[in-house]
Amino acid sequence: MNILRKKTTATLLIAIFMISIFVVAIPIASAAAPVTYYVDDSATGANDGTSWTDAYTTISDALLVAQPSDTILVESGVYTEDVIIATSYLTLESKDPYGANIKGKVLIGGVGVSVSGVSVIGFKITDFTALTGAYAGIWLRGVEVKDILIDGNLIDGSAVWPANKASGIETVKGTGTGSAKIVNNEIRNVRLGIYANPEFPLEITGNTITAVKCIGTENSPVVANYNNFIVLYDDLKDMAGLGVEAFGVSVDAQFNYWGEDPMDIPNMISGSVDYDPWLSAPYPGGVPVSMGDIVLTGKARYPMVSIDITLFDGAFGDVITGIPTKYFRLRITNTGEIRVDVTAEVIDDTDSFYTEYLKIADETGMDYANPADEMIQDLPGAGYKDPPGGSKDISLRLEVPLTAVEPGTYKGTLFFIAEADCEITP
């Protein structure tokens, strides 16, 4: 019996030793290097995606084999298919901007799917097909769909809108947590440009969106800066559309351009939307403009004439049609050598600043809308022919009358002009 026990013990020890040697001897496999797959709808080679000659002819074929960190590069052409991306950290890119035309929808994620780090870059997306009865160029849907980049695409819903109320980019209602950056896209001919549902924060930057409603969000944090909003007319409601609509959440919509001939911007938003400041011209190129943003400067018409402006309260506040602003106080000092008359004039800083509607008045009721009406007469200078330089305190306000026929919010510069009351010769 003892012998049998020894043999059994010895056998077990040998087996454990051999397994240990075998495990240690197996080399650790290295991670697969990222692969680029090629797609060309006119390729006639082996169609295995390994080169342009042997490219896949559909994007869907490449998606069947692509793994995380791979890239699918697509040649210019027409790809009539629905593109469904359920692989994380995958880049899908058109070789030429707008060159590859996807006729169908792009779905990132899917029912019960979690996906991260997907990039869709440079495509033209048209002829959207339906998802759950609705139409959009790009959908984001899943248990978790996060760190998505949608960059430099042209999304055009003209083939399905207005009959199907198409959207450009939309997160599916019921999608779980996620996040996406939507940058440098052009979205047009849609009823709704970009729509975000709960728990799906979006960063929206550098896009040009032409839609009845450019951006909509339902309890989802959205930051939308440096975009161009071109709002279409809503035929169904017989009224103009909206730039940004927010339900249950505040939206940061500063530094956007609101159209070539914007309406009063507050009429272009719904809900809690911070739009101030906005851009004076389309992005890129437009400069920030803020409500009541009046720049005070002094200038002289003659070399010996100059004035200095000291502000005590230099803020007009909001300029609303038919409602005068509050007064602000300033002191004008003649720092030149001779007596001057001082007038005020509003100079246009945009293409549509209707100066004929802007009134400048002081607390006595004097209306300085006509630049020929002197605000200050015979203000002494500092020269040897006059007493020491004089100054005068003034309170001013602005008013745009109800008769203004061009509503909107514009930026101008308020100039105070000092003019000598005698001819000056060299």
Q: Which residues contact 222 (CB under 8 A, 6 or more apart)?
A: 196, 201, 202, 204, 215, 246, 249, 251, 252
pLDDT of the residue at 134: 87
Any bridge partners for residue 320, and if so which? 323
The mean pLDDT of 215-228, rounded to a whole number, is 92
Residues in the chain: 426
Place of tokens 């009351």: 421
pLDDT of the residue at 414: 63
Contact call for residues 177 and 201 (beta carbons, < 8 A): no
The mean pLDDT of 26-53, rounded to a whole number, is 85
pLDDT of the residue at 162: 80
* CATH number for the domain running over 294-420: 2.60.40
Return the half-sphere exposure (C-beta side, CA atoms, 13 A cut-off) of residue 353.
19
Closest CA to 259 of 238, 293, 223, 232: 232
The mean pLDDT of 70-92, rounded to a whole number, is 97
The mean pLDDT of 185-208, rounded to a whole number, is 91
Give me the sign of the Cα torsion angle 161, 163, 167, 170. negative
**What is the pLDDT of the chain when averaged over all its residues?**
75
Rama region for 89: left / alpha / beta (φ>0; ψ in -120 to 50; rest): left
E-strand ranges in 53-163 read 71-74, 77-80, 83-85, 91-94, 100-103, 106-109, 114-116, 119-121, 124-126, 130-131, 134-141, 144-151, 154-156
| Predicted confidence (pLDDT) at residue 341 exceeds the cutoff of 50 | yes
DSSP-assigned states of every residue in 280-321: SSSTTT--EE-TT-EEEEEEESSTT--EEEEESS------BT
Within the chain, what is the greatest distance between any pair of CA atoms?
135
Domain boundary assignment for the chain: 76-289, 294-420
The model's pLDDT over 89-115, given as tens digits with 9 standing for 90+, comes to: 999 999 999 999 999 999 999 888 999
pLDDT of the residue at 329: 67
pLDDT of the residue at 392: 73
The mean pLDDT of 278-286, rounded to a whole number, is 88
| Predicted confidence (pLDDT) at residue 322 exceeds the cutoff of 70 | no
Architecture of domain 76-289: 3 Solenoid (2.160)
Radius of gyration, CA atoms only, the chain:
33
Of 23-27, 28-32, 186-190, 219-223, the one with minimum mean pLDDT is 23-27
Instruction: Assign 93 to helix, strand or coil.
Output: strand
Output the six-digit token pair for 150: 């949608």
